Amino acid sequence: MTVKEMAERAELEVLVGADGLDVEVTGGYAADLISTVMANAKQDNVWVTWHLHPNIVAAALIVKLSAIILVSGRQPEQETVQRAQQEGMPILGSSLPAFEIIGRLHGMGILGTV
Amino acid sequence: MKLGQVKEILEAELLVGQENLDLEVEMVCGADLMSDVLAFTKPDSLLLTGLTHPQVINTAEIAEIKAVCFVRGKRPPAETIERAKEEGIPLLCTPLLMYESCGRLYSHDLPGCSQVEEK
Amino acid sequence: MSGKVQFTRTQELIYEMKVGEVMTHSVVTVKPQTSMNELREVLRSNRISGTPVVSNDRLMGIISIEDFIKWLANGPPKTTVAERMTEAVVTVYDDEPLVQVVSMLDRHGFGRLPVIQRKHKKLVGVITRGDIMEGLLHKLEIGYQQEEIHRYRASHIFEDLIADRTALVFQYRVVGKDFQKAGSGATRLKKTLTRLEIHPRARRRAAIIAYEAEMNIVIYTNGGNIMAKVEPGLITIKAQDNGPGIADVELAFTPGYSTAADWVRELGFGAGMGLCNIKECADETTLDSVVGKGTRLEATIII
């Protein structure tokens, strides 16, 4: 499933990077501690997070994630948007809390690492 | 869902609250940001979190969280366990990551906080 | 309190309470060389049906009125207690839970058990069914009295105080930079509001406001205090500190805006949601801050 299909099916809003949505999603990861993302997330995973800080883009690039998903209706900081645009890292958003977004994605077959 | 069932689904270990396996949790919140927990959870939720310091218990107490489950196999320090005993908040510890923990519970029909009306 | 709750509490207590807490300490004892004639007097004058036999604080055996009667019937006149006592005595340690004694008394049909201190193996007392009953009743009564005090405070205070306007004020000191103790003010305030039987939703909102305000004081300042004023229909929370102050108050209320250090963020705080949460939970919020002087936050909740 591509990021685009995932966004449509899970009703996620594309906040940044509408032209980079054809990447195949390999699975999901969720956490807020940036160090753990780098340690545990796999390439082309989507990352469900609460953070808005520009650092999330940097971390996502290092691990080569396919997209960042912001939860609970949170809007990224200005600098985060700029960095994501520059680097072509899609940021999606939803008004739902993390648990429900993850639940939906998991139900669609986007699984986590066990 | 009973806490005992949550324990089974998450392959979790019970750290505090042996007598509370029959406790009912109404919904789940997964968060590492304590302010997020305070802002969005409703009373009687189960909190899944990757943080283990004692402030998690204070947050749970303030937000009237019913039970806390630490993800990623992270074991809490002794102060956290002490605080949880003091406040009577059961603690679980699962080796699963946050994403997988949320996914499994959601697939067993446990709702999230936005799906349940506050009493 | 329903009968069922009381019963459960009793069950808990027989697991929680230790033998040492309820046993009789001053025990009448006899020595192995005490004669059976003297024993008669000991049993009679103390109105007891049996007594431990002790030598140098060690329990050697137990002698009962039954042993005495048997001796009267057929024993030689000059007999010592040592010759007629039961040596293999069932005992309990003082640190064992009461439930242990209850089951032993049941199993053996004894009326009493000598209590031994685990470390020095000395006889320290005797425990009977009566001791257990008395101990449990005493504990339950204390619990009941404490419950009554809480109930009194909770349900009557506003009606009992006579004034045109009544307000209760609670103050909590907040130590700056002490992440371990952070939150103790807010959690204590929440317990206090529970005792006052404040409506759960208002209580939860007040607790969240106090907790976020307390965390801000801990993270950004060297300390301050949280005050809560409870009146019929209204809770006011004031937080004040003499910290660095907030340069742009409007910006500080923007979700996600934060000046927190990385270590604070790694702990799950400082994500720029604190003041927003406070504003969400309050019916009215005012924030006065002077850079270099400190910050005063006031939030009110209509119950």
Residue spans per domain, chain C: 3-135, 164-302
pLDDT digits (tens, 9 = 90+) for B46-80: 999 999 999 999 999 999 999 999 999 989 999 99
Q: Which domains are assigned to chain A?
A: 3-107 (3.40.1390.20)
The pLDDT of residue C150 is 58
In the sheet where B91-93 sits, what is the strand order?
Answer: B13-16, B91-93, B67-70, B45-49, B27-30
Higher pLDDT, C162 or B104: B104
Q: Considering chain C, what percentage of its residues have pLDDT values greater than 70?
A: 93
CA dist B117 and B106 (Å) reads 17
Higher pLDDT, A97 or C266: A97
pLDDT grade for C147, boundaries at 50, 70 and 90: low
Contact A50/C at CB under 8 A: yes
The pLDDT of residue C3 is 44
Is ipTM beyond 0.90? yes
Any idea which residue has 């320290």 for tokens?
Answer: C124
Any idea which residue has 């005063």 for tokens?
Answer: C296
pLDDT digits (tens, 9 = 90+) for C200-220: 999 999 999 999 999 999 999
- The fourth-level CATH superfamily of domain C164-302 is Histidine kinase-like ATPase, C-terminal domain (3.30.565.10)
Contact B61 C269 (CB under 8 A): no
* A59 has pLDDT over 70: yes
pLDDT digits (tens, 9 = 90+) for C72-127: 888 888 899 999 998 888 899 999 999 888 888 888 877 788 999 988 888 999 89
- Mean pLDDT of all residues belonging to chain A: 92
Nearest beta carbon to residue A52 from set C256, C266, C268: C256
The pLDDT of residue C111 is 76
Q: Which of A60-74, C1-15, C77-91, C195-209 has the lowest mean pLDDT?
A: C1-15
Q: Shortest Cα distance from A1 to chain C (angstroms)?
A: 31
Q: Of B51, B71, B98, which to mutate for an interface test with A (greatest number of A Cβ within 10 Å)?
A: B98
Q: Which of residues 239 through 268 in chain C touch B, CB cutoff 8 A?
A: 267-268
What chain B residue is nearest to A34 in terms of C-alpha separation?
A: B32
Contact (CB, 8 A) for A77 and A54: yes
The pLDDT of residue C158 is 77
Nearest to A25 by CA among A58, A56, A61, A67: A67
Q: Which domains are assigned to chain B?
A: 3-111 (3.40.1390.20)
Chain A residues with CB inside 8 Å of C271's CB?
Answer: 50-52
Contact C204 B62 (CB under 8 A): yes
Contact (CB, 8 A) for C297 and C174: no
* C2 has pLDDT over 50: no
Q: Which of residues 31 through 90 in chain B touch C, CB cutoff 8 A?
A: 32-36, 38-39, 43, 49, 51, 53-56, 58-59, 61-64, 79, 87
- Mean pLDDT of all residues belonging to chain C: 87
* C138 has pLDDT over 50: yes
Q: Shortest Cα distance from C135 to chain B (angstroms)?
A: 24
Chain A residues with CB inside 8 Å of C268's CB?
Answer: 32
Contact C205/B at CB under 8 A: no
Q: Shortest Cα distance from C198 to chain A (angstroms)?
A: 29
Nearest beta carbon to residue C266 from set A33, A50, A74: A33
The secondary structure of C99-162, three-state, reads: HHHHHHHHHHCCCEEEEECCCCCCEEEEEEHHHHHHHHHHHHHHHHHHHHHHHHHHHHHHHHCC
Chain A residues with CB inside 8 Å of B111's CB?
Answer: 100
**Helix boundaries (H) for B44-97:** 55-63, 78-87
Number of H helices, E strands in chain B: 5, 5
Q: Of C263, C266, C269, C276, which to mutate for an interface test with A (greatest number of A Cβ within 10 Å)?
A: C266
* Residue A34 identity: I
Higher pLDDT, C64 or B58: B58
- For the domain made up of C3-135, the CATH class stated in words is alpha beta
* C6 has pLDDT over 70: no
pLDDT digits (tens, 9 = 90+) for A19-46: 999 999 999 999 867 778 888 899 999 9
CA dist C52 and C115 (Å) reads 10
pLDDT digits (tens, 9 = 90+) for C242-258: 999 999 999 999 888 88
Instruction: Decide the pairing of beta strands A13-16 and A91-93.
Output: antiparallel
CA dist B91 and C201 (Å) reads 24
Nearest to B46 by CA among B81, B7, B79: B7
pLDDT digits (tens, 9 = 90+) for A100-110: 999 999 999 99
Residue A22's contacts (CB-CB under 8 Å, 6 or more residues apart) are A2, A3, A4
Chain C residues with CB inside 8 Å of A77's CB?
Answer: 256
Q: Considering chain B, what percentage of its residues have pLDDT values greater than 70?
A: 99
Contact (CB, 8 A) for A7 and A73: no
Contact A55/C at CB under 8 A: no
Chain B residues with CB inside 8 Å of C274's CB?
Answer: 35
